Amino acid sequence: MANRYWVGGTDTWDATAGTKWATTSGGAGGASVPTAADIALFDAASGASTVTIGSGTATCLQLNMVGFTGTLAFGNNSIELPGSGVAIYVGSTTFSVTGTPVINCTYSGAVGTRTIACAAVTEANAISFNITAGTDIVNVQNNCKNLNFTGFSGTLSNANFRIIYGNLTISSGMSLASGAVTMQFGATSGVQQIISNGKTFNFPVIQSGAGGTVQLQDNLTLGSTRTYTLTSGTLDLSSGNRTLSTGLFSSSNSNIRTIAFGTGNITVTGNAATVWNTGGVTNLSISGTPVINATYSGSTGTRTVSMGNSELNSINVNVSAGSDIFALANSGTVKDLNFTGFTGTWSNIGANIFGNLTVSAGMTVGAGANNVNFITTGGSKTITTNGKTFDFPMTFNGVGGTYAFQDALTQGSTRSFTISNGTVQLKNGVTSTVGNFVANSSSAKFLQSTTLGSQATLSQASGTVNVADLTIRDINAVGGASWNAYTDFENTDAGNNDGWNFSLSPPYSTAELPVTLRPFTQPRRF
């Protein structure tokens, strides 16, 4: 093994030696061209020259670029490095590349760790690496373009941070080491493809490329304690409708970013943490049919989902397992909220629901004073209570939307049931019990049975209910309360109602008015 230093100025790296290579830094040329047994070095003494990879492939055992200030011009050619057990490539931020820069790492043995030390180069100067063989350990440091492990059956180390500006291809026969060091995808344009080949990424992943797209080519799984962070760019699940499974997901900032679901989904498997965080929705766009599956099956801690308050970017949440506590942070916004399969407790931190609500028979619904708002502005949504008491305030305030109960509602006796806008349909043939029925805003709104012509029964234990601007149909009002739907308060009897007072309201004041009698001798005025 020998060292070969570039001293040839602007020239071609090829099989003709000439005076291009020296045995020492800045030394006299005339040494042989590097072979698969030699180390090629480009340093400060190599000058600001352009070195062109000639036709075919340039080969050396190891390549060191520290201090070089020139350009490595690849064209459509590549460099082959068969070295092992050391840093087979040491990059630098001082030189540039042109063409399609590719280095093939071809060692086929099992000994040691091959390190690819790329340096913190820019996206424009990133080099692609193909690790085509070997059962050893490969450690990739800092920034590269494409990273392709096809043919490799060893282990990718998690010892060092790296940014990938191109595609990542994991081979089915390799292993990925676990660890806390982040892998980052940072392309600022175009599409970066990830092929995981069924391997779990048990380390954090950050997507940071403003203007770039990361596209899954198969389903991607992160470890249950790891976070996928979308800082900028587009996460594309729609091509093939993929599943991203990750412990935690975070995208709460004001950068321009998009999650393109298609009919794919994101599964969060973590617990005792904020498993989903898009609380900062500024510049966040959602497309497709957005679905989050929260699948933790244990009983430890509180799983929190934090979302911003926007119907346009609301997401369906399925809490399909677990006996822990589930909470929506800061009265977060969801589309559908489905607890089928969940046997834990839904904490009363409040919620804004634009879609359906389904409560499971085996869960506990937490009591509290925080309001759950049902606020769809279009279409018909459903509420399934499964016999659980909703011991919290409920408000229906979706202009143009309809909420239809699929079974009887039982609400806590001290809680308000408020209709401010839209339509509420109570399940026909059963009794729904509320704490304090309120429908006195000036907006037009509707209270109906779910089946035309078949009554639903509405019960309140006590008090006087005065409603306004409410159209009532197929509702039997019972309980100890008095139900006043005065017609001069713009209420409408749409038929088949019982228990309601649809008369005119009584005088607004019952106070006695003073009367002064005219003296008998005083003439009458006309």
Domain identity same for 228 and 157? no
Domain identity same for 195 and 223? yes
Domain identity same for 462 and 409? yes
Can you read off the two tokens belonging to residue 270? 């973590």
**Secondary structure (DSSP) of 455-518:** -EEEEESSSEEE--SEEEESEEEESSSEEE--GGGT-EE-SS-BSEE-SPPPPS--PPPP--PP
Domain identity same for 172 and 186? no
Domain identity same for 326 and 199? yes
Domains in the chain, number: 3
| Block residue for tokens 């900028």 | 232
Domain identity same for 499 and 378? yes
Among 160, 177, 194, where does a domain finish? 177
Can you read off the two tokens belonging to residue 202? 């048990």
Residue 482 belongs to some domain of the structure: yes
Residue 6 belongs to some domain of the structure: yes
Displacement of CA 268 from its chain's centroid (Å): 9
* Predicted pLDDT at 330: 73
Domain identity same for 76 and 90? yes
Residue 516 belongs to some domain of the structure: no
Domain identity same for 166 and 52? yes
Residue 515 belongs to some domain of the structure: no
Domain identity same for 90 and 186? no
Contact 227, 246 (CB under 8 A): yes
* Predicted pLDDT at 332: 78
Residue 521 belongs to some domain of the structure: no
Q: Domain range holding 117?
A: 1-177
Domain identity same for 429 and 338? no
Domain identity same for 49 and 143? yes
As a three-state string, the secondary structure of 317-333 is EEECCCCCEEEEHHHCE
pLDDT per residue rounded down to tens, the chain (526 residues): 899 999 999 999 988 889 999 999 999 999 999 999 999 999 999 999 999 998 888 999 999 999 999 999 999 999 999 999 999 999 999 999 999 999 999 999 999 999 999 999 999 999 999 999 999 999 999 999 999 999 999 999 999 999 999 999 999 999 999 999 999 999 999 999 999 999 999 999 999 999 999 999 999 999 999 999 999 999 999 999 999 999 999 999 999 999 999 999 999 999 999 999 998 889 999 999 999 999 999 999 999 999 987 787 889 999 999 999 999 987 678 999 999 999 999 999 889 999 999 999 999 999 999 999 999 998 999 999 999 999 999 999 999 999 999 999 999 999 999 999 999 999 999 999 999 999 999 999 999 999 999 999 999 999 999 999 999 999 999 999 999 999 999 999 999 999 999 999 997 534 343 444 444 444 433 2
Domain identity same for 215 and 121? no
